Chain A
Amino acid sequence: MLRSIARRVGQTVVVLLGVATLVFFALRLIPGDPARVIAPTSSPEVQAEVRRSLGLDQPLGVQYLTYLQDLVTGDLGTSYFFDGSTLGLVGDALPYTLYLVVTALALGLLVSLPLGALAARHRRAVTDRAVLGFSIVAQSTPNFLIALLGITVLASALSLPTVGYVGPVSLVLPSIALAVSLVGLLTQSVRNNLVTTLDGSLTEALRSRGASVWQIILRHGARLSAVSITNLLGVQLGFLLGGAVVIEYIFNYPGLGLLTLNAVLRRDYPLIQAITITTALVFVLLNLVIDLSHGYLDPRMRPARGRPARAPRPAATAVTAAGSAA
């Protein structure tokens, strides 16, 4: 068990190093001179000074090593455009995105768990088809379409804020916009997981002991599909972060998505670096936690002694793909 955890952690470090390397070289290959971006009107001497202060006059290899060194010590540089360290900027923005993503996730579960259970209970009946139809429609609706309609139709009618963050009330429209397509994906996944569980031999045994289908769903199905759901949530988090970029842009919401967009539009290299690395870190750690939690959630997943185990990816690969695309 310990060995497998160590192995998983080791893999995580390798992945993070890969991400950092990728980001470093991607940014260095950009045509154009960051010094010109920072000090466009200044003299060549000033620009040379800027270049020197950024270390851009060093050979690429030296730059890379310095970069890794800084990275290990947690120094991700200062932003070209905003005051302060990039890590501080990311730290300021991250909680807002987390509020948004968690609220959207909560809303998504709130709708999709009952719907999925309902569909699984009445599988192949009209209810099941209706839920499926609804979930496909929800899954297919672009979140920016919902955001725009929300601003136009709901915002002034309900006096909801549409700009920035003034308090939890600011989460309403953005999180709804973000939750809709999530509801589609989650509902299908919940339903399919429950159906698989209900088809299993356990269900037959329980049924023969007189348990009702709803009881099985609530007591056992939920637990057995917890692995798939947590796994899915790990993937959906990426999907939600992706959606958050657009939603935060539309609502001018001060989260990581808006920061990303601004950083990129302004060619703020250190900030882009910091954002990419931090999000990758959050992402990888979450997936690590999810992987490790599988053993806890489902004893069948615990690795046999001495043999490293990789938790299988969820069956719903299509959802994985959709998640990775966003």
Chain B
Amino acid sequence: MNLKRRCVRLSCLAAVAALVVAACAPAQDMTVAPADAAPPDEPEGKVTFLSAENLSGDWDPFDHTILAQDRLQRAAYETLVRVDEDGAFQPGLALTWENVAPTTWRLGLREGVTFHDGSPMTAEDVKASIEYVSSPEVAWSLAFPRPFTAEVVDEHTVDIHTGEPFAPMPGLLATGAAGVVAPSELIEAGTLDEKFVGTGPYRWVSYESEAKGVHLTVNEDYWGETPKIKDYVFRYVGDSQTRLAALRSGQADIIDRVEPHQVADVESDPRLAITRTPTVESKWLAFRAAKAPMDDPLLRQAIAHAINVPQIVDVVLQGSGTVNTSYFSPSHELHSDSPTFPTYDPERARDLLAEAGYPGGEGLRTLDLMVSVGFYPMTKEYGEVIVQNLADVGIDVKLTTLETARYNQGLFDPEMGDLYDHGWFLGSYDANSVMMSLFGNALVTSVNDPEVDAALAAQMAALDGAERQRLVDERLMPALNESMLEFPMFTSELITAYSRNVRDLEVPPTSYHRIEDAFLAK
């Protein structure tokens, strides 16, 4: 028997078949529906969101620090308080919140809400959730100053005891997973990590693999308005070019973190739409201050002055972002320009470097700068600019790039590098959670500064708004500038591209897009 000829015949067949399939495959339906298309009556269609950041693969809503997962779980879990487009607090699972005593906040809960497993949401669940999330071994405790306790008043009323007076409570309850409510039975049983069981408009279907992503479908028993999109798929694709290509070929409907230089491409495609959102997220340069030589604040200040942030924003990021003038982002409440905030000044950097005992960089070892790739726009590029900027004042730096999942883990390792570039996106207009996590809890630097801690505590306890503003401006900012444990270089812009058939999609500065408000036009 002539095996080879048979092989050849088979292989020819296979190849021809592949090509025929390719040729006959229906071109993706990429026609754009008319502009005035109305939302459907019944939920229908499927929307695929491509995230720039990986998911943890572990579905406990409280025990991760991944923004992408936070954004995803917002479709399945709800928070006690919500923020609307104007930054105002709106009822979520809590209808009322009130400071009944200096250290007690009383929440009145929404009635008639059930979890996806059918059990009703009660004060017990809120108590279990808030006590769980604020306990130190859970990741989202990062936003809490200390463990909170809760007390069930009646089935739909709960008191939260904060230990010390705590002004930013509504902001905290609207931020990330801090105000999420999960079923108390699952918290006690330790089975939260298996799948999402929330009260939100979408419920869990499956997660088979990273490549297939998380699949959610509409929750028919939702207490609010039923969403108009039936299925919601959320996948991690760690490369911006790949994400854009997928959007163009119709494989995805919404893509995350479009890079500035891709904007023109998207805009030239009549099938695609784009939104550019100024966020509440700063890009930080964290200093690993627990070890030499980064334990020297003068060296850290020298580095902050040496980096040409305006050039990075204007040229490398093509204007996609805002140069920071304070430790708060411009869209944060209580933001004002801080006069002592470091600006680009190489001369000052050289002086500070000499003052730190390294004239012209002499005696200073090579520093390691770590950046992620594929996640935030242009990180490798501006990492290289930072290397050049620092070389110009005499500081020798080596750049290392990290894959996103690896970067997300290395972030909290105080041994990892000397300078660590990271974003810190807590979806709230109140900057307190950011300050609390990065400085109070010192998640990244693992070093606390006593003056910063005292200033933080003071402004948190200030229940009067004007007094809080004064404490931020006059105590917190100078302490942060002086200690320079992390340097907030600029506030990033979130560019989201999507098919024009996805209507009513809004991406607010908190990044929490509401898929339940969008619909697919036909």
Please name all residues of chain B whose beta carbon is closer than 8 Å to the beta carbon of A309 when the two chains form the complex. none
Is A23 among interface residues, defined by CB-CB distance under 8 A?
Answer: no
Is A134 among interface residues, defined by CB-CB distance under 8 A?
Answer: no
Please name all residues of chain B whose beta carbon is closer than 8 Å to the beta carbon of A8 when the two chains form the complex. none
A sample of 14 inter-chain contacts (CB < 8 A) reads A89-B209, A102-B14, A103-B14, A109-B7, A156-B248, A164-B251, A167-B21, A169-B25, A171-B18, A172-B22, A251-B242, A266-B405, A266-B409, A267-B406
Interface string of B462-483 (1 = CB under 8 A from A): 0000000000000000000000
- The reply to whether B249 and A160 form a contact with Cβ atoms under 8 Å apart is yes
- The reply to whether B5 and A222 form a contact with Cβ atoms under 8 Å apart is yes
Is B37 among interface residues, defined by CB-CB distance under 8 A?
Answer: no
User: In the assembly, what is the distance between CA of A164 and CA of B212, in Å?
Assistant: 9
Interface string of B231-255 (1 = CB under 8 A from A): 0000001010111011011111000
- Closest chain-A Cβ to B59's Cβ sits at a distance in Å of 10
Contact A82 B237, CB 8 Å, known A107-B15, A113-B8, A175-B18: no
- The reply to whether B403 and A159 form a contact with Cβ atoms under 8 Å apart is no
Is A163 among interface residues, defined by CB-CB distance under 8 A?
Answer: yes
- Closest chain-A Cβ to B4's Cβ sits at a distance in Å of 4
Contact A252 B409, CB 8 Å, known A81-B57, A164-B211: no
Is B355 among interface residues, defined by CB-CB distance under 8 A?
Answer: no
User: In the assembly, what is the distance between CA of A171 and CA of B25, in Å?
Assistant: 12
- The reply to whether B11 and A168 form a contact with Cβ atoms under 8 Å apart is no
- The reply to whether A230 and B4 form a contact with Cβ atoms under 8 Å apart is yes
Is B3 among interface residues, defined by CB-CB distance under 8 A?
Answer: yes
- The reply to whether A163 and B405 form a contact with Cβ atoms under 8 Å apart is no
- The reply to whether A226 and B11 form a contact with Cβ atoms under 8 Å apart is no
- The reply to whether A83 and B412 form a contact with Cβ atoms under 8 Å apart is no
Interface string of B1-33 (1 = CB under 8 A from A): 011110110111011111101100101101000
- The reply to whether A168 and B251 form a contact with Cβ atoms under 8 Å apart is no
- Closest chain-A Cβ to B318's Cβ sits at a distance in Å of 21
Is B316 among interface residues, defined by CB-CB distance under 8 A?
Answer: no
Contact A40 B412, CB 8 Å, known A103-B14, A169-B25: yes
- The reply to whether B409 and A254 form a contact with Cβ atoms under 8 Å apart is no
The 9 A-B residue pairs with the shortest CB-CB distance in the complex, in nearest-first order: A226-B4, A254-B211, A265-B403, A163-B246, A106-B11, A106-B15, A159-B27, A169-B25, A162-B245
- The reply to whether B12 and A37 form a contact with Cβ atoms under 8 Å apart is no
Enumerate chain B interface residues (CB-CB to A < 8 A): 2-5, 7-8, 10-12, 14-19, 21-22, 25, 27-28, 30, 57, 137, 139, 207, 209-212, 237, 239, 241-243, 245-246, 248-252, 402-403, 405-406, 409-413, 415, 443
- Closest chain-A Cβ to B352's Cβ sits at a distance in Å of 31
- Closest chain-B Cβ to A35's Cβ sits at a distance in Å of 11
User: In the assembly, what is the distance between CA of A83 and CA of B251, in Å?
Assistant: 25
User: In the assembly, what is the distance between CA of A225 and CA of B243, in Å?
Assistant: 45
User: In the assembly, what is the distance between CA of A252 and CA of B211, in Å?
Assistant: 8
Q: Which of B18, B207, B237, B242 has the most CB of A within 10 A?
A: B18
User: In the assembly, what is the distance between CA of A254 and CA of B235, in Å?
Assistant: 12
Which A residues between 141 and 195 are near B, CB-CB below 8 angstroms? 151, 155-156, 158-169, 171-172, 175
Enumerate chain A interface residues (CB-CB to B < 8 A): 36-37, 40-41, 43, 81-83, 89, 92, 102-103, 105-107, 109-110, 113, 151, 155-156, 158-169, 171-172, 175, 222-223, 225-226, 229-230, 250-252, 254, 258, 262, 265-267, 293, 296-297
- Closest chain-A Cβ to B281's Cβ sits at a distance in Å of 20
Please name all residues of chain B whose beta carbon is closer than 8 Å to the beta carbon of A103 when the two chains form the complex. 14-15, 18
Contact A223 B2, CB 8 Å, known A159-B250, A161-B249, A252-B239: yes
Contact A162 B209, CB 8 Å, known A103-B15, A296-B3: no
Contact A106 B413, CB 8 Å, known A162-B249, A164-B251, A172-B18: no
- The reply to whether A109 and B8 form a contact with Cβ atoms under 8 Å apart is yes
Please name all residues of chain A whose beta carbon is closer than 8 Å to the beta carbon of B411 when the two chains form the complex. 40
Please name all residues of chain B whose beta carbon is closer than 8 Å to the beta carbon of A163 when the two chains form the complex. 237, 242-243, 245-246, 249, 251-252
Contact A106 B18, CB 8 Å, known A162-B249, A226-B3: yes
- Closest chain-A Cβ to B17's Cβ sits at a distance in Å of 8
- The reply to whether A168 and B14 form a contact with Cβ atoms under 8 Å apart is no
* CB-contact partner of A159 in B14, B28, B252, under 8 A: B28
Please name all residues of chain A whose beta carbon is closer than 8 Å to the beta carbon of B237 when the two chains form the complex. 163, 252
Q: Which A residue's beta carbon lies closest to that of B242?
A: A252
Please name all residues of chain B whose beta carbon is closer than 8 Å to the beta carbon of A250 when the two chains form the complex. 242
- The reply to whether A155 and B249 form a contact with Cβ atoms under 8 Å apart is yes
Please name all residues of chain A whose beta carbon is closer than 8 Å to the beta carbon of B409 when the two chains form the complex. 37, 40, 266
User: In the assembly, what is the distance between CA of A250 and CA of B242, in Å?
Assistant: 7
- Closest chain-A Cβ to B50's Cβ sits at a distance in Å of 8
* CB-contact partner of B4 in A40, A151, A155, A222, under 8 A: A222
Please name all residues of chain B whose beta carbon is closer than 8 Å to the beta carbon of A262 when the two chains form the complex. 210, 403, 405
User: In the assembly, what is the distance between CA of A132 and CA of B15, in Å?
Assistant: 23
Q: Which A residue's beta carbon lies closest to that of B250?
A: A159
- Closest chain-B Cβ to A259's Cβ sits at a distance in Å of 9
User: In the assembly, what is the distance between CA of A237 and CA of B21, in Å?
Assistant: 24
- The reply to whether B21 and A40 form a contact with Cβ atoms under 8 Å apart is no
User: In the assembly, what is the distance between CA of A204 and CA of B427, in Å?
Assistant: 82
Q: Which A residue's beta carbon lies closest to that of B415?
A: A36
Q: Which B residue's beta carbon lies closest to that of A230?
A: B4
- The reply to whether A92 and B209 form a contact with Cβ atoms under 8 Å apart is yes
Please name all residues of chain B whose beta carbon is closer than 8 Å to the beta carbon of A168 when the two chains form the complex. 17-18, 21-22, 25
- Closest chain-A Cβ to B53's Cβ sits at a distance in Å of 14
Please name all residues of chain A whose beta carbon is closer than 8 Å to the beta carbon of B212 when the two chains form the complex. 254
* CB-contact partner of B57 in A82, A107, A169, A265, under 8 A: A82
- The reply to whether A156 and B249 form a contact with Cβ atoms under 8 Å apart is yes
- Closest chain-B Cβ to A208's Cβ sits at a distance in Å of 24
User: In the assembly, what is the distance between CA of A113 and CA of B443, in Å?
Assistant: 61
Task: Identify 9 new A-B residue pairs, CB closer than 8 A, beyond the known A169-B21, A266-B406.
Answer: A103-B14, A109-B8, A109-B15, A110-B12, A161-B28, A162-B246, A168-B17, A171-B18, A265-B402
Please name all residues of chain B whose beta carbon is closer than 8 Å to the beta carbon of A107 when the two chains form the complex. 15, 18
Please name all residues of chain A whose beta carbon is closer than 8 Å to the beta carbon of B415 when the two chains form the complex. 36
* CB-contact partner of A109 in B11, B249, B403, under 8 A: B11
* CB-contact partner of B22 in A82, A89, A160, A229, under 8 A: A160
Q: Which B residue's beta carbon lies closest to that of A113?
A: B8
User: In the assembly, what is the distance between CA of A97 and CA of B26, in Å?
Assistant: 24
* CB-contact partner of B412 in A41, A89, A151, A296, under 8 A: A41
* CB-contact partner of B3 in A83, A159, A297, under 8 A: A297
- The reply to whether A229 and B139 form a contact with Cβ atoms under 8 Å apart is no
- The reply to whether A166 and B57 form a contact with Cβ atoms under 8 Å apart is no
User: In the assembly, what is the distance between CA of A162 and CA of B11, in Å?
Assistant: 24
- The reply to whether B11 and A155 form a contact with Cβ atoms under 8 Å apart is no
Q: Which of A41, A105, A262 has the most CB of B within 10 A?
A: A41
Please name all residues of chain A whose beta carbon is closer than 8 Å to the beta carbon of B405 when the two chains form the complex. 81, 262, 265-266
Please name all residues of chain A whose beta carbon is closer than 8 Å to the beta carbon of B28 when the two chains form the complex. 159, 161
* CB-contact partner of B246 in A158, A164, A222, under 8 A: A164
